[in-house]
Amino acid sequence: MFRGHSISRRLTLMNMAVSASALLLACAAFFAYDLYTFRANLERNRSIQAQIIGANTNAALAFDDATSAESTLSVLRASPNILAAAVYTPDGKLFAAYNRPGVVDSGPPPPIPAGEMQVVSMGISEMKLARLIVLDGKPTGIVYIRSDLLELQGRFLSYAGIVGLVLVASLLAAWLISSLSRQTISKPIVQLAGLANRVSREKNYGIRASQAAEQGEIATLIRSFNEMLEQIQQRDAALGKARDELERRVEQRTAQLAAANQELEAFSYSVSHDLRAPLRHIDGFSAVLSQKYGPTLDPAAQQYLGRIREGAKHMGHLIDDLLNMARIGRQEAIMKPTDTRTVVNVVIDALKPEYEGRHIDWRIKTLPTVECDSGLIKVVFANLLSNAVKYSRRKENATIEVGHFMEAGMPVIYVRDNGAGFEQTYADKLFGVFQRLHRTEDFEGTGVGLATVRRIIEKHGGRIWAQGKVDDGATFFFTLKPSGPGEVNHA
């Protein structure tokens, strides 16, 4: 009954409910006690009247004088609650009777148990009492009295009226007391709740609640609330200071990063121009030396010369790969819906010179249309498919599969081969720069391609991972955002 009300109303209702409950319980106990005592008094009074009538009718019973007995019974007219009275002989015959006008005779009296002097029966509207008339220890007759309970009913109505008046007065007093108590109990709590709502809404932790004059739980609550606001304000100030310091440091790091990028661009330019020329000279003069003086050199010198040319070419490829990776990092992705199946077909056509003379079972399955930079995604497939061709060349029947599946509403594209594979323990090293899991003598490469692939995938907000087993192939998975719900090209 108290849900959905303010604390002031709850206190008022609680006080009124407690007062009403206590008053009703007290009145119920008092009424029950009064009802018990009134009934006992009524029974005692009727028993005394029956004894008096019995004593006055003994002689009439002895001389069979019914007129005298009726005269004795007529005295009961003075009692307005007596409905009827009668005297019966010991064998149950009516000897004399008195009935109030309009009262119907109710018949013989109830039997009196052996060893008892009287029997009492209490009904809803009347009480019946039958008592033995005894003379010299022998029963000479029975007195039977019926009386109404109007006095008891009137008493009950009087009590009900008194209880109602007292209940109204007590509820009014409880309401007045609750109204006064709200000034010291509920009002500070309501004010504190309003202040908490204001602090939450305005995020102003400098507000303070006024301290209550009295001591107790409310004063402790207000004091604790103010202390909490003080702590929050101090932490907020500390967070603001830390945020400002962090922003300052970020600006410094950003400036340092910009300077580093400029130095990196300058280094890239230097690599592109200053290192390429010496490498071309090394390769060119080595070629001239091999053509002009090769036949006159001993085999060991010819082998050394070949290694010089291979090293120069490898260094040139490495420089090109690093420059491409740096260029991709600075390049802004131009996102548009791209059919990855078309990109894969273009890359496979471009790789034909690398697997000419070999049999490769290309299994190109359904691929999705994704929102991406078509040029960058072409670089991804070029690296992954080129690796698949390279690491499966020792297989007589090479198989390369490209497909996709859905996971958590995102398409996962994969490139699988049955080539050399790798140890799964070192899978996290595949995407690092210069990280290789195979010897250069077995499989050529610079160790930059997969690092470039990871940079492109992360630029698209996706991720890439790999699974493999030595001599049992490898599978590379990556995710990209789809261009639309369920939009997939079937081919």
Residue with tokens 């309003």: 194
Strand order across the 488-489 sheet: 336-339, 367-372, 488-489
Amino acid at 142: I
Ordered DSSP codes for 416-436: EE-SS---GGGGGGTTSTT--
Which pLDDT score is estimated for 212? 60
Q: Which two tokens stand for residue 446?
A: 């610079």
Query: How would you label 30-56 residue by residue, b for 16+ Cβ within 10 Å and e otherwise?
Result: ebeeeeeeeeeebeeebbebbbebbeb
195 versus 386: the higher-pLDDT residue is 386
Q: Where in the chain is the domain with CATH 3.30.565.10?
A: 332-489
User: What's the rounded Cα separation, in Å, for the pair 27 and 5?
Assistant: 30
CA dihedral 468, 474, 475, 476 (to 10 degrees): 90
Q: How far is CA 247 from CA 166, 253, 254, 443, in A?
A: 73, 10, 10, 48
Count the neighbouring beta carbons within 10 Å of the beta carbon of residue 296.
8
Average pLDDT over residues 60-82: 86
Q: Which two tokens stand for residue 385?
A: 């498919």
Which sign, positive or negative, has the C-alpha torsion 154, 160, 164, 165?
A: positive
**pLDDT digit string, tens, across residues 130-184:** 999 988 888 889 999 988 888 777 777 887 888 888 888 888 887 777 776 666 6
CA atoms within 13 A on the CB side of 142: 22
**pLDDT confidence of 185, banded at 50, 70, 90?**
low
- Give the CATH class of 332-489: alpha beta
User: What's the rounded Cα separation, in Å, for the pair 352 and 354?
Assistant: 5
**pLDDT confidence of 219, banded at 50, 70, 90?**
confident
Q: Which two tokens stand for residue 77?
A: 């007219």
CB neighbour list of residue 390: distance below 8 Å, 6 or more residues apart: 354, 419, 443, 444, 445
Count the neighbouring beta carbons within 10 Å of the beta carbon of residue 280.
12
- Would you say 290 and 302 are in contact if contact means Cβ atoms under 8 Å apart? yes
CA atoms within 13 A on the CB side of 489: 17
DSSP conformational letter for 490: -
Average pLDDT over residues 40-50: 88
- CATH homologous superfamily, domain 7-177: PAS domain (3.30.450.20)
Q: Are strands 410-417 and 367-372 parallel, antiparallel or unpaired?
A: unpaired
Mean pLDDT of the chain: 80
State the pTM of this model: 0.42
User: What's the rounded Cα separation, in Å, for the pair 112 and 66?
Assistant: 23
Q: Where in the chain is the domain with CATH 3.30.450.20?
A: 7-177
CB neighbour list of residue 235: distance below 8 Å, 6 or more residues apart: none
